[in-house]
Every structure is written in C-alpha cells, then in structure tokens.
Structure 1
C-alpha cells in the first residue's frame, strides 16, 4: 500500500534553531495563522556558507525535513535568519508566499515581504520596519502565563523583576557593576517591602548567575540561574511583575518587557552603542522605558505591541483572511 504524504501546514515558521530567530519566526507565523507549524533547519556546507544565495542543488543544503515541503508547499512561510532566508526562497519557487524577518542582505524582490528593525537601512515597497523585535507577548499570552504560574501572584508587592542578559560588543557591561546592581536592588526591596526576582538568559556569564545565590534567601522572590533551578519562570514573572528592570544588551528581551503593562527601567543604557542603541533611544524617548534610578517610581504605561501592527499590515499585503 502506498503511504500518503502528510498535508503541509497552511503556515510554517522556518528558522535555524537560534533562540532569537525561532521566537521571531514562530511569533509572527502564529499571529498570521494560529496553530502554524515550525521547521528547524539543519544546513549543510557549502550551501550554508553562502545562504541565502542560490547555488545549484540548494535544496540539498538542508536535512530531508524540507524536501516534502518543497513538493507540497505551505500557503505561507515565515523565516528568520540567513539560513531560513535560503529556505524561504526555495519555498517561494515551489509556490508559497514567503515573509522574511531580518535583512537577508539580498534584494527584497526575492521575497513577498520583509520585516526588519527600524535601525536597519533596508527599505522598499515590500519592506515593513518595526521598533524592536517580533515576539508573542500580548494580553492573551500574559493571561496564559499568569494562570500557568499562580505562585507569582503570591509574591509580596511591589513585585520587582530583573531580566538579565550579559555583556556584548555593543553593551560592555562589567561584573563588578552587576554585583553592585544586585546589592542595590536587594537593599531597596528590603527597605520598601515587596519581592525581588531575577531571571538569567543563555548569554548571562556563569559568575553573574552564581551571584544570585548570594542574595539573602530570606528576601522574598525567585532567583532563577538555569535549568538546575527548575522550569524557567520568565513568562510567569513577566506577567505578574509590578515593575521590570532590564540589562540593556538584548533588543529581544527589551521588546518583550516593553510589551507588558509594567513600568520598565533600563540599567546602564548610556553604555550601549551600535544599532541596538537606536531601539533603546526609541524606548527612552517615547517614555515607554526610563533609565534605572533610585526611586523606581511608577508611571503611565502604553504597552509597545509592534507584532500586532506588523501582522495586520501583512494580512493586507498578502491577502490573508
């Protein structure tokens, strides 16, 4: 008996497995088509070295997971990152409409639509720009995260949450300054009451993560240093936070924090340089975020929800229901 080929999803998120690429592709794909599928690529040389340029046999540059999709393409594919840009070019040739996130460094005509950060120079009739990055954080996501993490609501208020990235070439943060930040925020929490929670990210240096263990364990709050501490409480803490404090190095992290209704304070924003500084300047200039100070005073918040705007525009461009 001949085995039938499973039907392709109507919408597919395509990425290379990098967390930032996967999150953006999946967030946009799910906004355009709830329940969208996902494909994590495994690129091969020599094609991965020159992606997204098309060399002969480019379809063989990926693992077999892509091959049935080229025979039975999804109606829409959303890619993020250079490897995904090659895959979306191939899917477009097979009949899909394709959206590429981030500048693929090739002419925009190779895709139906491109979505790039405002600080990129790429512009064109089929190019949409946004402040920050794409992500899933909206009211429904926050409500689900809060319900899945009820212990967050039991933390004493005000609930202060510190989101930690790490040093980059655009944000040369130092360990002594980070240790001083922890001491300062712990002392402020102790003085005003409330709770102090901290969540690290994959780029956080080990000595920064280890420093969380030196925070007074009697101080209310959660300090998550990695998988050894259990499931990551990031989403739940984001949903329950009364105020958020972010290191300035990650556009993705800042974008998600800015999509909540909590006041957002940025630690050491003046040290940031290069392209990420453009987004940080927008957050501070629009009063969606403020530099970290000694008061952490609440202020009126209008959540920054760029993904919803981008998805609405793409529906019109691509004729999606």
Structure 2
C-alpha cells in the first residue's frame, strides 16, 4: 500500500479572500497545501471557466511556467479564474485528482468533483455543499495563537472593540457620510463605557480613506493598522483580544471570520443592503450571529461560534471517500483521509 503523503494544490488567482478560503479548507483536512497562483491570458481570463479550448497555453503560474505533472491528489480552487484550472485538472489527471471548487463557478457543478458555495449564491446539485458564509481559519486555537503573538493588545483598556473596515462594492457604498455616521456611533459608545478600538483596514480600503480614519480614531485609546508600514498585521490579535467586533457590511469574508470568534458581532448599514449580500446578512441576523450596531449591547444570548470550516471539511472527507473509492484503493490508503 502506498503510504506517501497526500498532495494538495491550492489554486489561487492571487485574491487574498479567495486564497484564504482554500487554505482554511486544506488545513482543516489535514493537508499541507502547495499554493499555485495562476495568471490567465485573454480571452480565457474573461471567459473562465467556460472556455477550455487552448487553455493549457493560456495558464501560467507566478514563475511563468505552465501547470505540469505530477498532478496533486486534491486541488482546491476559489473564484472564477481558479475554476478553469480545477476543472482542467480532472482531465489532465485522468480523474485521479479530486477537484473541489469554492464559490459559484457559473457553470454546471458536474465539471468538478465537489462545489462549496454560500447559501446566498443559490446553487444546488448532488455534488454541492452549501455554507452560510466564507470558509476561514478562525477557531479557538487560531485565536489563542493570535493572543500570544500580539500580547501587547491585552494592555489596552477594556472593553476592546475590533473595527474591521472594508470598502465599497455594488451591494453597499462606504463613503464619507457612512464613516461620519459610524464614527459618531462608535464615539457615543466610547463615551458611555470607555475602552479602546482595534482598527484594521483591508486591502480594499482606499488609502486616502484609511488616512482619514487613522486621524479620526487617534482621539481614542487603541491601535490602527492599514498596511505594512504599521508593522505586522495584527488581525488575529485583534480578533483574539476583542470583547466585541464591528464590521462594515460589505465583506462576506470579514463578517464570517468575526462570527467564527463566538464574540458579539455588529454591523452598521444605514443604506439598504442589496443583492445576495442582503440574504447573507439576514441569515446571520436570524441565527443571532450578527447584530445591528444601533441595537442595545445587552441583547439575546450569544450563539456558539459560526464554526463551519471543520464541519464542511468532514463532509468533504465523506464525499471524497465515496466518490474516489476506486482510485484511492489503488493509490493511497483510504483511512489516511481521516485527517
């Protein structure tokens, strides 16, 4: 029986939100992933993953090399461009590579062995697993490691409020008026119960806006991070040490990570949220994981952490065993899929 370690590719288009979901699933499966960041020529980039003819010559990794064997035992991709590679890996490997695609690939799910989509994408099929939010690495161990690595945050006055800032998208506009109103509410909270703010801007936050917010939060105790100039990213430390978390309403990834902490999570959305994002907010509000910032602090009991990644990883193991039993029997020991 072959006892070699299982190999895993995380196929990424370079977007941090997509890549992090793949890494979280791979690690929850007990796999050591190799990250393959791909670049696509036109028209394959625009038509991915539908256009497969000639795609082998259009796909390159960061070094400029085309994908080549040995093919991995499992490939996990997230996003439309990565879906082209995970789709083709089934063909290139003669079906021996088990392909998992995260997020709606916008083609028939049967092009992959397994598709994992959030419920608000409204995708269904016999090989589809549906989540509430985005897969992520946040669990008790991750939070403990964040507290240990950023122990200095513990010295800031409590209650510590983590403030996670994204950027405008089609579903929600975050402009000067939005942040003026948010700061007014956060200032009122601070006047009432003191504490400190742990502010983290994302890659999608415009630099000019980050500078404005840095100045605005300077009147409060706390920390502000918006990029490498501020040192190592303290995001894990912020979530680990926070007593409560406020997240702008635009990011499924950040909201999912906040709700995975098991701490009270608030969002501020003065404008109606549009599209699929509205269904996501409604789902989390219904379960008690997400509250409006204007709600009273003493609300309903806090629900358990939104710990989806481990549960979905177990479903992936089950599907993998069932769907890949034939080639697993001849190549790797099935019991090794226990993670």
CA contact (8 A) 1:197 1:221 kept: yes
* Structure 1 residue 270 displacement after superposition: 5.4
Q: How does 1:94-109 map to 2 (within 5 A)?
A: 94=93, 95-109=96-110
* Structure 1 residue 212 displacement after superposition: 2.5
CA contact (8 A) 2:52 2:84 kept: no
* Structure 1 residue 109 displacement after superposition: 1.4
Call closer, same or farther: CA 1:254–1:172 in 2, change over 3 Å. Answer: same
Aligned position for 1:246: 247
* Structure 1 residue 246 displacement after superposition: 0.9
Call closer, same or farther: CA 1:180–1:108 in 2, change over 3 Å. Answer: closer
Once residues 34 and 55 of structure 1 are traced to their aligned partners in structure 2, the CA distance between those partners, rounded to angstroms, is: 28
Once residues 218 and 119 of structure 1 are traced to their aligned partners in structure 2, the CA distance between those partners, rounded to angstroms, is: 39
* Structure 1 residue 189 displacement after superposition: 1.8
CA contact (8 A) 2:11 2:35 kept: yes
Secondary structure of the corresponding residue to residue 35 of structure 2:
strand
CA contact (8 A) 1:258 1:289 kept: yes
Aligned position for 1:4: none
- Name segments (4+ residues, structure 1) moved above 4 Å: 64-69
Once residues 211 and 306 of structure 1 are traced to their aligned partners in structure 2, the CA distance between those partners, rounded to angstroms, is: 35
Do residues 236 (structure 1) and 234 (structure 2) align? no
Please give the root-mean-square deviation of Cα atoms over the aligned residues, in Å: 2.2
Q: How does 1:173-184 map to 2 (within 5 A)?
A: 173-184=174-185
Secondary structure of the corresponding residue to residue 36 of structure 2:
strand
Select the residue among 13, 30, 35 that pairs with 2:32: 35
Select the residue among 287, 300, 305 that pairs with 2:302: 300
Aligned position for 1:161: 162
CA contact (8 A) 1:8 1:74 kept: no
Q: How does 1:1-321 map to 2 (within 5 A)?
A: 10-63=7-60, 70-93=68-91, 94=93, 95-215=96-216, 217=218, 219-268=220-269, 271-293=272-294, 295-297=296-298, 299-319=301-321, 320-321=337-338
CA contact (8 A) 1:51 1:86 kept: yes
* Structure 1 residue 102 displacement after superposition: 1.1
CA contact (8 A) 1:12 1:37 kept: yes
TM-score scaled by length of structure 1: 0.91
Once residues 31 and 169 of structure 2 are traced to their aligned partners in structure 1, the CA distance between those partners, rounded to angstroms, is: 35
Call closer, same or farther: CA 1:112–1:213 in 2, change over 3 Å. Answer: closer
Secondary structure of the corresponding residue to residue 277 of structure 1:
helix
* Structure 1 residue 48 displacement after superposition: 2.4
Aligned position for 1:3: none
CA contact (8 A) 2:57 2:66 kept: no
List alignment gaps of at least 5 residues for structure 1: 1-6
The number of equivalent residue pairs is: 315
Once residues 287 and 64 of structure 2 are traced to their aligned partners in structure 1, the CA distance between those partners, rounded to angstroms, is: 42
* Structure 1 residue 110 displacement after superposition: 1.2
* Structure 1 residue 200 displacement after superposition: 0.9
Secondary structure of the corresponding residue to residue 55 of structure 1:
coil
Secondary structure of the corresponding residue to residue 273 of structure 1:
coil
List alignment gaps of at least 5 residues for structure 2: 322-336
Once residues 64 and 111 of structure 2 are traced to their aligned partners in structure 1, the CA distance between those partners, rounded to angstroms, is: 19
Give a deviation string over 1:55-113, Cα, whole Å, max 9, x none.
Answer: 33322211266978542111111011112111112211213111011111111111110
CA contact (8 A) 2:7 2:31 kept: no
* Structure 1 residue 202 displacement after superposition: 1.6
Q: Which has the higher contact order (CA 8 A, sep 6+)?
A: 2
Call closer, same or farther: CA 1:187–1:37 in 2, change over 3 Å. Answer: same
CA contact (8 A) 2:60 2:67 kept: no
Once residues 206 and 234 of structure 2 are traced to their aligned partners in structure 1, the CA distance between those partners, rounded to angstroms, is: 19
CA contact (8 A) 2:6 2:31 kept: no
TM-score scaled by length of structure 2: 0.86
CA contact (8 A) 2:200 2:224 kept: yes
Call closer, same or farther: CA 1:126–1:28 in 2, change over 3 Å. Answer: same
